[in-house]
Structures are given as C-alpha cells and as structure tokens.
Structure 1
C-alpha cells in the first residue's frame, strides 16, 4: 500500500510568520506534526510519502503514485483541503481525512472516503484492521480520549528540517479550564492526558537525530495543566539538555497561574525554555468573568508577565477584543497593558465563536450568529473572523481594533516594546550562545537591508538598532529576530487597515 500524507497550505496569518521566516530562506514555520504521527502509526511495510504544501507543490506524479491519501487540516486550511480532496478524487485516490477541521460538529464532509472524528490513536487502528479485511467504513468516531502512551514517536525519517523555522513535539492534550470561547475541552476533554517523560525525551531526541537544533515548540494547549506531571517531564528534559549542551530552545503554551509555582518556573528555566504563550485575553475583570477566564482574575497580570521574563522567557501574549462586556475604551486599555507588560509579540484577536464552544451555543441561542456561524478559523488581524453581532457594534469594534493594531505594530512603538522586553529579560545562562551559522549571518544581513534601507520605518529601525547594540549587545540575535517578526505583523496590519 502506498500512503500519501498531504498537509494543506496555510494562509498568510499571524502565526505563519511568512514575512519574517522568508529571511531564513524557508516558507513554513513548523512541520505538520499530526501527519508525522499518523505516518508512524501506519503499517511498516507500507510505502509513505509526505507532502507539505507550504514547502512544496502537490504534483500529478504524487497522486499517480498513491493508493491512499491522508489529510489533516485546521479550519484555516479548509480551502486548500477542499482543493486537495478534489484533486485526489479526480485522480482516483481514496481520501482519509482527520484533524480539527474534519472533526467539526457542524460540517459535513461528503467528498471524503474515510472520515476520522476524534484522535487518531483511537480511530486509526480500527480503520487499519477493517481495511485489512476489505471492510473499511466511511466514518470512524472516537468513543473516548485515548491514553497518550499509545501515541508513537513521529516518523521523523520523513522530515527535512531545513525547510522549517521551528520544530514541534506534543506533550499533553486536554485542559482543566473552561473558557467560554474555547473548544479545546470539546476536542480533547477537561482531564489532562500526558505522555510519559521517557516518551517526550525520545521524541525530542528524534528531532535532534533528524538534524535539528534550535527552537522547538511543545504543541500543547496548556503544558502545565498538571503541575506534577509537567515537572517530571521538565526534570527529564533538563537532564537530556545538559548532557547535550542545550541543543533545543523550548517554547510552550501555558496558563498564567504558572507564576504561582516557583519550582515549576525554575524547572522550565533549567530545562531551557525561552518562551511561553499566555492567554491573557484582556486586562478588564468584567470581560474575564464573562468568558470564565478565572485563572486570570484577582492577580496583577503585568507583574506575572514580568516574573516570567525574569526567568529567561519571552511572554507571547494572546488577547481578545469584542466581549459583550467590552466598551469603546477597551482598545486603549489593551494597548496600555501590552506596553506596560513589555510584550512585543501580542496576538490580538477579534472574538469569534468557534463551533463546539459554549460561546457558539450561547450566541446561537441568542440569535446573534451570522449565517451558519462557521468562520475561517483566523481570528487575528482578520475582519472576516467576526461571525456574530457584537454588542458594541461591528463598526466600533473594527475601528477600535484598527487603531489598536496601528498603535501596537507601527515601527517606533513596536521597537520600544522590544527594547523594554530586553531590559526586563534575563537570558538563561545555561544556553550557550553558539557562533552564527552562514544561514544566520545571511538572514541578519537581509533583515537589516530590508528594514534599514528598503521599507518604511527606516529611521525607527536604525534608532532601535543603535540602542540594541549599546544597551543589549549580547541579545542582538534576539532583537533582530523580533524586528523581523515585527515586519510580518506590520504587513498584516497594513493589509487589514487598508481593507477596513
């Protein structure tokens, strides 16, 4: 059997970082972890090829070779996924489809030959057994959340790491919190399920063996759901990193209550973590209560961010505007908070009702959903994501959002936040600064050429670079990398503002 694993194209979004990573000569931020995991679950005697449309085209030769196509997609990739399915059917290749997009409770997928709803560790073995008997069904639906001990080490032998800017490993699934706008607990449950520490270490070792050294993101919705299990994994990662000279720079997603556990923060620092994504959402208590973000209430959010920065980690902040409790003043308050907290990478989303979330159900009952309510899954710097009637009014929401984006991502204020972050940031002494590679040097030269000579904001860039060299010379690579990311955010911001 010949299995063709196909990952759809990701549009130009906040997290694609397309206009930053292009300086590295790559077109994709991260590899499709789900498909590498699926590949590892397929029979060993099958022939396998993986095509990521973000780094190479799907050719007619690929389709002529394949017996089965396996597709995994996020909602933002739905258009590309539809085109892949159309081409597969035209070529006579049977389609197996799963992942977040294909597990949507409100979407029919009649063009798919074998639909997988739920986690592959639960559904794929059933399909393979039926297929071997010639009795494969059109749909496989998980009846439970599987033990992640059954999840194999991804098939990294199919990976070409030179095509990506970042690697991924998954540690856990599920989240104990119940934020109204989030559908994670529908997909993965409220009881956190973790891989064993030895599993996680083996997967990270697999990435290293594939030839990768650098940023590795743990693709979990909340790495610290269970503090005890997270600590066990961190201790194992610390031993692994120390024995190899800290080849990986870890990034993860966590809830802000990480700052309540000093031991947990210290273990993250010792394991070589350099970044945490936090769902801060809003500094307004009324809106936090509305969305049931209880873990963010009754605390100094800016102080929490500063605590994490002092442990050698950048805080990547997730924010939302458009809550029912929000007023026209929320945009100024968000900007002031982001500036006070010194968060350069601030992902400010327009509130959207994700299918399956409690918010989607509530707005549907209130008659406030627009059309069928199914959006495109892209909630950052995208007016089309607003799939309901906001209480403050759509025009006020979009105008305020536009002003907020301009305040955050115009060159001068963005560079000021980077410098403010670097002032608070304490680099991890365990992480050895290695001599730059040829690719690093070329990327830095391209960034300076683009931002210092070719594009708007040149004066602000040169002022930033001078202060960076004078005040934070050892953090020059971090500062230049953030400048490149700022370019990406600015391009998306300018495109949005021109369209609204």
Structure 2
C-alpha cells in the first residue's frame, strides 16, 4: 500500500512562516508511525512535515495518517476532508484528536486515541478487511518499549538537530494550562534504559536531544538514565523543571551525564502567578541561584514565560524583560496563557464565560483567545509583542549571552532566529492564522 504520514503546520511555524530557517528538532511522531508500519509488512511510506516543506497537492496515497495539535487542527481537518473526497483513507491522531475524538472523527475514517503503539497492527488488518472502526485506543505499559523510529525518513539539514529521541512520555506535575496532564493523567511512561542507550549509540552523533516534556518527572528513572549516559560521553539537551537544582544528587548526575542545555518553564517572575497556574515547583527556587549553577556547569537555558494569569497586571511584561536580562537567560521564549481543551484552565475560563475565540488555529500560544482578569485583551496582546521585541534587541542579546562558553555559536544563531520571529509576530493576524485557502 502507498501510505503518507503528514504533519500540517500552523501559519507561524509553516515553512512560509516566521522563521527564515527551522530551528526546531526533527519530530518523532511521523517517523515512529512509519517505524510501527514497517514492523507489520513492507509498505511504500513517505512523510511530509509542513514546517520544512510543502505538502504536495496531488498526494499519491491509499492511506493518509495525519497528526494534529490544537493549533493545527483546522488545517489538518481541511486536508483530511480533501483527501477523503479523493477517495483516500484518512487516519487522525495526536494530541488534539485524543482530547476531542468526537470532533476529529467528523473528518476521518478512524481516530487513534492515545498512543499508536499497540493499535497500528489491528488498524491495518481492519483496513484490509474493509472493517475500519471509528476509534482505536492505544496504550503503553508504564515501563515498556516505545515504537521504533524510522530515521531514514528524516531530511538531514532541515532541522537544528535530527538526533532527537524520547526516554519517557508524560509528566507528574499538575500545571493548570498544560495539555500533557489532560492526556496522561500524571502517568509517566518510561522506556527500558538499555533500549535508550542502544538508540543513542545507533544515532551516533556527539549531541542528542531528549524531547520528553519533563526528563525528571520520575526521579528514580532519571537517576538511572543519567548514570547510564555518563560512559557514553555525549552532550545532551532536554527539558526539566527548575527545582532540579534543589536536588543535589540529581543535579550532579545531570551535569556528569553531559547535559549542555535545558528548556525550563519559569512561567512567571511573580510568585502569585505561579500559584494561579499551579506551578508549585518553582515557588521554592531562587532563579538567580539556579542560573548561576546552570551556567557554572556549562548548561545553557531556554527559559519560557507565560503571560495572562489572573494574577498578572500590565506591569508584568516590563518586569519579566528586566528579570530575563538580569538572569542572563540564554534563549527566552514568551507565550500567552492558552486554554487548551480538557485542561483545568479551559474548564475555569469556560465556566466564567471568558473564552471569546474558539477557532483552534488561534490556539498557538501567541494569540489571545480569552478575556484576562486584570488587563484588557489589547494590553495582553501588545505586552506580549513588546516583551519579545525588547528582549531581542541586539543589545539585550549581547548582555545575555556574551560569556565564555562552548555553546556561544548556537546561542548567537538561535537568538538571531528569535529576533526575526519577534519582528514578524505582529504580522500574523487572525485572518492570516485561520486562512486555509491554499488547500485545494
């Protein structure tokens, strides 16, 4: 069978969007689906990632698998409707179809809810028999293997790194805005350590990137993983919570294992806002002490901040920009609080009748879709844009990153890319975000 796996992208992150060159990692969803299909039988499988290339209008396929997050759902649905009109079988999966399967099935022959592992075989058998079920519920053992990644399908040179992999899925935290907890209910799914080590050895690069949403979500697993990484002598990048510095054993092992960069969700410089978002782990972290420990250990920090909490006032933007420069965060990133479906935040704002925009294309964390409590929608939107631009002036970039460290070339490249992103942000109006006229 001819099978195509696609990942349509929202306007800002499409290959025609706000970056001159993609500075994100090679995604694993499509290559994992391809790997699972390869274990069943030989198929003609191709993938198209719309962040780096155009999806052909004349797609040659018998079956199309499509993955969607909330911000890409309308575009995915438009493609799905087109392919079904052409007689193709369409299977939808990913975060958004898992959260809202009854919505997604209106545009598909079947929806995979949860993980694709464990259901791909049954799905393909049902397709052959002409007996496709509407929903397939994929599950994982909490200490089991993940699907194989068909890395041969990744286009080299199109991403900031192709050496991305997963050690775990899920998170044990309960942040009110995060869709991960809505998906996994605090479950953390962990791969066998020898399997992770084997994959790293097969990748064969000096640097690797763990895409886990929280690499230290399960402390004992993280300790075992870091110990296993030490003899490999790799440099790795990943995501953790800020309180990793408060756990001496865990932090020492993280450093010894070769960590060179972390994405950390600071979320806010205001303690009251952290409480409103249930980001309780950050309340006991001294950000200045944390950054000193990270930089002393040679670790670069991609710090994320979220505006729009009910505790935020119009002064939050300038306060955050000032703090970011003082902390010397290597690569800051700003977003606006977004009520993703099935999250506690969505339930709260829905109950308070504060959500005014329900077009999923606007749910990309850079557009305001609800009425803030202590400022206007315009103040939140304008403050977000101002924070981006003020942070990414050349002077601010210089003050944050110019220090002796191995990652200076990477820091310069990513900061200049985000400077371009900040300059383009205002161009992505609602009209541009929801436009799907290019899908025939």
The alignment's TM-score, normalised by the length of structure 1, stands at 0.78
CA contact (8 A) 2:227 2:257 kept: yes
Partner of 1:5: 5
What is residue 284 of structure 2 aligned with on the other side? Answer: 298
d(CA) in 1 for partners of 2:94, 2:275: 31
Contact 1:302 1:341 in 2 (8 A): yes
Give the counterpart of 2:393 among 403, 410, 420: 410
Describe the shift of the 1:291–1:135 C-alpha distance in structure 2 as closer, same or farther (beyond 3 A): same
Task: Tell me, yes or no, if structure 1 residue 137 matches structure 2 residue 103.
Answer: no
The answer as to 2:202 corresponding to 1:206 is yes
Q: Secondary structure at the match of 1:102?
A: helix
3-state SS, counterpart of residue 163 of structure 1: coil
Q: Which residue of 2 aligns with 1:44?
A: 41
Determine the C-alpha separation between the residues in 2 that align with 1:214 and 1:83: 40
1:482 maps to 2:403: no
1:255-404 alignment runs, 5 A limit: 255-372=241-358, 374=360, 376-379=362-365, 382=366, 385-391=367-373, 392-404=375-387
Any unmatched runs of 5+ in structure 1?
Answer: 428-474
How far residue 196 of structure 1 moved from its aligned partner, in angstroms, is: 0.9
Quote the Cα distance in structure 1 between the aligned partners of 2:272 and 2:336.
17
Contact 2:338–2:368 (CA under 8 A) maintained in structure 1: yes
Task: Give deviations 1:363-405, integer Å, cap 9, x for gaps.
Answer: 10011111437453321xx3xx211100122122233333322
Change (3 A) 1:15 1:232: farther
Distance 1:52 1:395, change over 3 A: closer
CA shift, 1:265, in A, is 2.1
8 Å CA contact retained: 1:402, 1:497: yes
Aligned residues: 424
Paired with 1:40 and 1:98, the residues of 2 have a C-alpha distance of 16
Query: Unaligned regions of 5+ residues in structure 2, if any?
Result: 430-440
Cα distance, 1:279 vs structure 2: 0.7
1:71 alignment partner in structure 2: 66
The whole-number CA distance in structure 1 between the counterparts of 2:335 and 2:342 is 19
From 91, 95, 103, the equivalent of 1:96 is 91
From 226, 236, 240, the equivalent of 1:254 is 240
Over 4 Å off, 4+ runs: 13-18, 497-500
Q: Which of 409, 421, 429 matches 1:492? A: 421
Alignment deviations for residues 322-363 of structure 1 (CA, whole Å, 9 cap, x no partner): 111112221222122211211131111111111111000001
SS of the residue aligned with 2:136?
strand
- Cα contact 2:216–2:240 (8 A) shared by 1: yes
Distance change >3 Å, CA 174–CA 335, structure 1 → 2: same
Deviation at 1:8, TM superposition (A): 1.9
Could you tell me which of 184, 191, 198 is aligned with 1:195?
Answer: 191
